[in-house]
A and B are shown apart, each in its own frame.
Chain A
């Protein structure tokens, strides 16, 4: 071990000396680049559980928020969340990195949610404001209370827009998907996605601009 560390250090120094400043920066960047999602998924295919853990930690919160706001019900969100990851785990051997992993993940999530709603034949009651899934308020309770109030308004505003528009908006905001990818995930035309996103944004903007009391009444 003692001989290996100086050898590595010497190698780094030799590389740094041989590279120009720009090249050295690029080299340093390449050393710190996190592995691609598809690479992690391929590693998980080969039995690397830590790769899956990295992949999971990278996407879990945004997927959870997408499902939470889409369903507006914590239990439903958790059920579908678990189902989505279960499907990804089961179908890991069939996964091919032809598209971005995010597209694959949200496509599965979108379909799982639709299946879940059809299966249960119920529309979820708005309970996304469950305080259990909120982060720890920390040392500033006033700030957190204000934030909580703003979040309630956002959720109420999201509740006023149709499901399809909310779906498109959340796929854009949470998953960071482009319009083309959203069209691919939801199986609708690109122009339809654009239109839904435009309407959703406009309605949310209007709802969020309203006085707080009025928003609460609408919710």
Chain B
């Protein structure tokens, strides 16, 4: 078969033409072209070597880094201090923390499964919210004192005005419960202001504060304060 092919091939080619071509075709590649190709070949091998040396160390390093990071995260999460509230935590900052675990409780997470401070928090959530708030040392006392102060102020105002300001029957109880409106509404970054506890202790001061908020363009905060104001003092006659 191969011999047949060779014979056929020989029949298709003229040896004189081939010889003539071979004698004349003697061009060489330019030297710069040779250099360019050989440089590229050497560069490719160098790149391979670099890649090879990189492959020898990057896997163990990547593995070590992953293990190290995982350990760091686990240790950090098991640290009880990570969820403890700051010492000067006010009611407003405490309330979102109260609202947070509700979703966890809805998902049916067992408090015992969570480590350290998290389990305390989950256990607190499983109780009624008011009770949970009272469990926080110092917070319930502060609110009770605040309510007492507000009552006194109202009595003074009644005495001064000669009228009776009737607070809502469950107004005092509301102080001991988290206010869902405050707790659930996210604060906007540009309007973090609200009336201070001192201002809230005085009806007039509170109302002034609300007006100031509204005048300064913080309508959202003003509405929020007004809502709370109306809940506590539903009978207070709002000025025009």
Which A residues contact B (CB, under 8 angstroms)?
A: 44, 47, 49, 52-53, 56, 60-61, 64-65, 68-69, 78, 81-82, 85-86, 89-90, 92, 132-135, 147, 150-151, 154, 172-174, 178-180, 194, 197-198, 201-202, 204-205, 208
Contact = CB atoms under 8 A, between A and B. Distances in A.
Interface in B14-45: 14, 16-18, 20-22, 24-30, 33-34, 36-38, 40-42, 44-45
B13 A154 contact: no
Given A150-B24, A201-B13, A85 B44 contact: no
B14 A81 contact: no
B36 A205 contact: no
B9 interface: yes
A28 B34 CA distance: 33
Contact of B37 (A69, A85, A147, A178): A85
Contact of A60 (B9, B14, B26, B34): B34
B37 A56 contact: yes
B27 A205 contact: no
11 contacts: A53-B41, A64-B29, A82-B36, A154-B24, A154-B25, A173-B21, A194-B12, A197-B12, A198-B12, A201-B13, A205-B17
Contact of A173 (B8, B18, B28, B30): B18
Given A172-B13, A197-B12, A208 B29 contact: no
B49 interface: yes
* Main DSSP-derived SS at the B contact region: helix
Contact of A61 (B14, B28, B41, B48): B28
Given A56-B38, A198-B12, A65 B44 contact: no
A64 B28 contact: yes
A147 B21 CA distance: 11
B56 interface: no
Nearest to B33: A78
Contacts of A92: 44
B177 to A, nearest CB: 71
B16 A47 contact: no
Interface of B: 5, 8-9, 12-14, 16-18, 20-22, 24-30, 33-34, 36-38, 40-42, 44-45, 48-49
A69 B25 contact: yes
Contacts of A205: 14, 16-17
A52 B40 CA distance: 11
A23 to B, nearest CB: 28
* Main DSSP-derived SS at the A contact region: helix
Contacts of A82: 33, 36-37
Contacts of B34: 56, 60
Given A173-B25, A180-B5, A49 B20 contact: no
Q: Which 7 A-B pairs have the closest CB atoms?
A: A64-B29, A85-B37, A198-B12, A151-B24, A197-B12, A52-B41, A133-B27
Nearest to B25: A65
A134 B30 CA distance: 9
Given A194-B8, A197-B13, A174 B25 contact: yes
Contacts of B45: 44, 47, 49
B41 A56 contact: yes
Contact of A49 (B21, B30, B42): B42
A42 to B, nearest CB: 14
Contacts of B49: 47
A203 to B, nearest CB: 10
Contact of B17 (A53, A56, A134, A201): A201
A109 B239 CA distance: 93
A78 B36 CA distance: 11
Contacts of A65: 25, 27
Contacts of A81: 29, 33, 37
Contacts of A68: 27
